[in-house]
Structure 1
């Protein structure tokens, strides 16, 4: 009886196949890391406990030191992760800064940042905590200085186009504008619990947040066009209408 032809050997893949042990290790590390983000975001570096992270991640405390080297190294990696995630999302922005109307483009950058903060409250908490630490741990990160943001370049382009077309005031600094946009996204979220209590108003309701966003749009737009030829033209038309 003739032999059947031998089956061809499977092609070797360039990708390395993980063993069961490696997959288990990766899953364990990811579970520890996810738990650590919540713990540090809720309690800051000083309040967070390695023991609590281990218990909630259902691992032996030695595993945290094995995978991360200790509490400080784990905290720095958490900071790097949340900031890198923000930068990654910024790079995905589909904003044609060479074509979009400049003021609307800047308002879209505000909307993106406001939306990211709303979706990632852990980022707000971690930044607030690290500010209390005077950026003590951020300074120890070798990765964070290399995480570049495309937003400043976008703002510079939009500012330049806005000035050239006289729809925006002149002399706006991109970094100052970025800080202004972030502050309008940040304060009413990071301080919502205390201010809500002080003024007996729930600032975390969807209606209040939406109203604040509309007001922020008005503030940004007024700042950008104040003193521009467009603003002067609008004032002149309004003056004529009043006659």
Structure 2
């Protein structure tokens, strides 16, 4: 599969160098970045055919990067349907689900066999351009990940970009309480709790938009801990 361009986004130099060498030997044009900022520059400038994305980067989480690739950014232009494979040491089912919810096409846990990664890359590239339509449904709340549309009881709800990302984060495990530090890291890329007002204000607006009365069912505040999307089943 010669001449297809792959962007490797990986903060660990040994892993990045290994992938660069192996993929070059297999006929790919290889670009690389060790941080999110450089990755966005390259994905816009080079328009790669596929992105291999580390889930943990020094300046943002890979999950946030994937969301931003799918969403696009004002004043910047890239293919928002570019295939993305997350390559990560985070191998728990919740991490895989989080990756798919943010828009990745495949998720490969480390350590991995290079031959398996190559086979997955080729499969994703074959599927590229096909229909992408996945819908999350929680009670009467539906989230169309392809069109990024949200509906409650069939009525469309208009959300800002960060409100949508916060909703996706909570929808990955609707009944689980997500800590504020975790949400700030995965949605905003913050590394400390110093910006909790940002999270709280977005959660408050999201709650108002998803609920039609003063007894909210969605975006529940667990005081002193964080947020969950819906109450746990009795």
TM range (shorter): 0.3 to 0.5
TM-score normalised per structure 1: 0.32
Identify the structure with bigger relative contact order (alpha carbons < 8 Å, sequence gap 6+): 1
Higher fraction of helix: 1
